[in-house]
Amino acid sequence: MPIKLPSTLPAFDVLTREGVMVMGEGRAARQDIRPLRIGLLNLMPKKIQTETQFARLIGATPLQIELSLIRMSGHETKNTAAEHMEEFYRPFSDVRATGEKFDGLIVTGAPIEHLPFDQVTYWDELKDVFNWTQTHVQSTFGVCWGGMAMINHFHGVQKHMLDHKAFGCFRHQNLAPASPYLRGFSDDCVIPVSRWTEMRQSEIDAAPGLRTLLGSAEVGPCLVEDPGHRALYIFNHFEYDSGTLKEEYDRDVENGTSINVPQNYYPGDDPSKNPMNRWRSHAHLLYGNWINEIYQSTPFEIAQIGT
């Protein structure tokens, strides 16, 4: 089954050209089924790129998905056209006021790693979002900074600055082969990493109820399950396109920012060569497994979520 998107959303044409099944409002309305409602709280500056990346992954399952785009209420983006934000996004304050519930919510990363959490301008509202998920969302997926923020809010686990950016494609070990979220995973897999901070395994282990599912000897814990809050936290970027790390590297080089060549990304670590995508299949597995677990556990009547 396809993912339901507005036909004017840029991701609609991009995914259609890729062969992903997408449908507009009219076609979706003729299908007598309840789609899974997935929200995307998009904190990334390049919102259109991020919308497309996540829509591609959650739209590749046999289930019909209805994607809702959400933004922070008091934060104005500087990198995406105001017209796009007005047409496709709703502020969280409006979502909360309507009492809507969601089968799943993805909270993206944000390029604000250098700031302490409580110095982020929208931190108070984001904490409200996290608390709201406990009564209005069946399963929440925090990604990169979004995952770090969630695990800090619910468990007090701190993020720590790195001496240099963890940047490149790193092998991660499958630490929980029997986990339904890792169904079909190999013993290890490659995942793109792009961050200046880390979460430490010892501190995650000290927090009751958390279990690390994927981890790397080079860049630390990656995917953490939090059953008590019906949440997953991933600190790396399965959703990245083949060229996303290249775009970040080229941007920093152009701006004169000191940056290392992303490791294990370009053939021979040579930026003049085209990068190879070695994570796509596991990315689809993870997000497909997450959607399947939501489908298996979410109430048929969406109003019963959180009751």
Q: Are strands 3-4 and 220-226 parallel, antiparallel or unpaired?
A: unpaired
Q: Write the DSSP symbol of residue 159.
A: P
Contact 269, 102 (CB under 8 A): no
CA gap 24, 236 in Å, rounded: 31
* Two tokens, residue 164: 């240099």
Q: Which residues does the annotation mark as catalytic?
A: 144, 237, 239
Spell out a b/e string for 33-54, using b for 16 or more CB atoms within 10 Å of the CB, else e. eebbbbbbbbbbebbbbbbbbb
CB-based contacts of 302, cutoff 8 Å, min separation 6 = 34, 37, 101, 102, 103
CA gap 215, 188 in Å, rounded: 9
